[in-house]
């Protein structure tokens, strides 16, 4: 891994001192360095990648200095619209440096949800007229950042640096979890399953929640046709849940979401309530961090998600839930009327060390779920 201080000192000498984006596990130490060493004027953690492109554009317009936007390559989809209709040379021509974690790198074995995005990462850069280079060796990282700064100034448009594994983070992710009396995610999931039973449909949000939900469904004897693990498409699991809930109003649908995922596409909350999916329970497992990609702080504890949910129209307890007993009481009290239920559950960080990796056949899981719902 490159020396982060050396890299950021070098960028400072180039006049680059503003960073925004969405954390990625392949950029873990890069992101953690930003969180520890840059204040809110010089570092903004965005809700989603398109949001970050807009913030970076605003910074350039106000200062004339080159901003840096960091993201996982899965976030290119969120960023495509502003990259093409705002920053592209045929519109405003706004220079910036995109630092992109290359999940699904064709030369590295990775999860199924990263495979196609990995194959298309460089192709998308070419198609969007974004010059790029690959960060593939520690000793050339600073040099390639210098190239990116000069190129962005020259063409007055975005330039990308695509980071391979172990270049902007350690090979093994190190996370230390603070002690807390709160439940962890798995305990909260188990508490809900104890109440809802084996007939409901359960959906898990992107990241570690998919692993924990899958294991707890097996522990509770819930059949394979009752789960959907949203392994990709961060922020969209409640929308998948809404589609199921509206099509099958006779079915109880339980969505386990994450705080950063909810914030990423918060507009989904309004849509869920607009169409009154009263048979849906939306549980946000809120630990205040982006845990799956390294533990960078999220907006989960800063935003009053309960009040946001109330404003959108959800039924919800008046405050975040913090105990198993309270969580189960709220779930039991939901009458499945005309509006969905929203529960902001504050949980502690961490995952048990012996938690298995998610090992599922995605197509088989889809078929099993369809067989359950299409009768």
* Length of the chain as a residue count: 375
Please give the pLDDT value at position 336.
Answer: 83
Rounded Cα distance, 223 and 69, in Å: 42
Check pLDDT > 90 for residue 13.
Answer: yes
Check pLDDT > 90 for residue 111.
Answer: no
Please give the pLDDT value at position 227.
Answer: 97
**Both 231 and 159 in a single domain?**
no
Domain assignment present for residue 98? The answer is: yes
Between residues 289 and 44, the one the model is more confident about = 44
Domain assignment present for residue 169? The answer is: no
Rounded Cα distance, 337 and 339, in Å: 6
Check pLDDT > 90 for residue 297.
Answer: no
pLDDT tens by residue, 138-196: 999 999 999 999 999 999 999 999 999 999 988 666 667 778 999 999 999 999 999 99
Instruction: Give percent of the chain with pLDDT exceeding 90.
Output: 88
pLDDT tens by residue, 213-229: 999 999 999 998 999 99
Please give the pLDDT value at position 174.
Answer: 67
Question: Beta strands 296-297 and 289-290: pairing type?
Answer: antiparallel
> Chain-wide mean pLDDT for the chain?
95
Strand-pair partners of 163: 101, 135
**Both 369 and 249 in a single domain?**
yes
pTM listed for this prediction = 0.92
**Both 59 and 196 in a single domain?**
no
CA distances from 202 to 185, 217, 229, 321, 326 (A): 15, 9, 8, 20, 20
**Both 275 and 152 in a single domain?**
no
Spatial neighbors of 129 by CB under 8 A, at least 6 apart, are 88, 89, 157
Q: What is the DSSP string of 101-122?
A: E-TT-TTS---HHHHHHHHHHH
Q: Give Cα 256 to chain centroid, integer Å.
A: 14
| Rg over CA atoms, the chain | 21
Spatial neighbors of 148 by CB under 8 A, at least 6 apart, are 97, 133, 159, 160, 161
**Both 337 and 306 in a single domain?**
yes
CATH of the domain at 221: 3.40.50.970
Check pLDDT > 90 for residue 124.
Answer: yes
Rounded Cα distance, 286 and 290, in Å: 10
**Both 89 and 14 in a single domain?**
yes
Please give the pLDDT value at position 194.
Answer: 97
Residue 322 falls in which region: left (phi positive, over 0), alpha (psi -120 to 50) or beta = alpha
Between residues 155 and 107, the one the model is more confident about = 155
Domain C-terminal end among 128, 163, 198: 163
Please give the pLDDT value at position 168.
Answer: 96
Spatial neighbors of 83 by CB under 8 A, at least 6 apart, are 53, 128, 130, 158
Domain assignment present for residue 176? The answer is: no
Location of structure tokens 């050396």: 6
Please give the pLDDT value at position 170.
Answer: 85
**Both 322 and 246 in a single domain?**
yes
Q: How many CB atoms lie within 10 A of CB 77?
A: 14
Token pair listed for 6: 């050396």
Token pair listed for 310: 């109330």
Check pLDDT > 80 for residue 96.
Answer: yes
pLDDT tens by residue, 235-264: 999 999 999 999 999 999 999 999 999 999
b/e for 26-37, b at 16 or more Cβ within 10 A? bbbbbbbbbeee
Confidence of residue 354 (pLDDT cuts 50, 70, 90): very high
Location of structure tokens 């946000």: 284
Token pair listed for 281: 């329970």
Q: Find the domain containing 228 and state its range.
A: 185-373
Domain assignment present for residue 359? The answer is: yes
Q: What is the mean pLDDT of residues 293-318?
A: 93
């Amino acid at each position: 891994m490159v020396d982060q201080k050396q890299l950021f000192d070098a960028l400072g000498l180039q006049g680059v001192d503003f960073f925004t984006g969405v954390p990625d596990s392949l950029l873990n130490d890069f992101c953690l360095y930003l969180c520890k060493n840059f204040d809110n004027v010089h570092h903004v953690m965005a809700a989603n990648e398109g949001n970050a492109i807009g913030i970076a554009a605003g910074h350039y317009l106000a200062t004339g200095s080159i901003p840096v936007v960091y993201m996982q390559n899965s976030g290119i989809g969120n960023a495509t619209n502003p990259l093409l209709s705002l920053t592209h040379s045929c519109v405003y021509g706004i220079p910036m440096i995109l630092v992109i974690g290359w999940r699904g790198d064709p030369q590295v074995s990775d999860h199924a949800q990263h495979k196609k995005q990995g194959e298309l990462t460089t192709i998308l850069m070419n198609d969007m007229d974004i010059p790029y280079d690959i960060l593939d060796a520690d000793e050339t990282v600073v040099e390639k950042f210098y190239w990116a700064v000069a190129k962005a100034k020259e063409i007055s448009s975005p330039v990308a640096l695509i980071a391979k594994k172990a270049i902007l983070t350690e090979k093994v992710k190190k996370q230390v979890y603070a002690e807390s009396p709160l439940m962890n995610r798995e305990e909260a999931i188990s508490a809900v399953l104890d109440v809802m039973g084996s007939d409901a449909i359960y959906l898990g949000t992107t990241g570690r929640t998919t692993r924990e939900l899958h294991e707890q469904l097996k522990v509770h004897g819930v059949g394979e046709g009752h789960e959907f693990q949203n392994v990709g498409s961060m922020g969209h699991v409640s929308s998948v849940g809404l589609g199921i809930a509206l099509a099958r109003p006779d079915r109880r649908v339980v969505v386990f979401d994450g705080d950063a995922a909810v914030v990423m596409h918060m507009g989904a909350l309004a849509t869920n309530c607009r169409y009154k999916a009263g048979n849906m329970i939306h549980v946000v497992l809120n630990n205040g961090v982006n845990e799956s990609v390294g533990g960078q702080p999220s907006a989960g504890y800063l935003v009053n998600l309960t009040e946001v949910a109330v404003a959108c129209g959800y039924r919800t307890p008046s405050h975040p839930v913090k105990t198993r007993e309270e969580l189960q009481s709220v779930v039991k009290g939901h009458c499945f009327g005309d509006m969905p239920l929203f529960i902001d559950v504050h949980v502690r960080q961490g995952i048990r060390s012996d938690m298995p990796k998610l090992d599922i056949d995605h197509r088989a899981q889809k078929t099993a779920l369809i067989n359950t719902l299409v009768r």
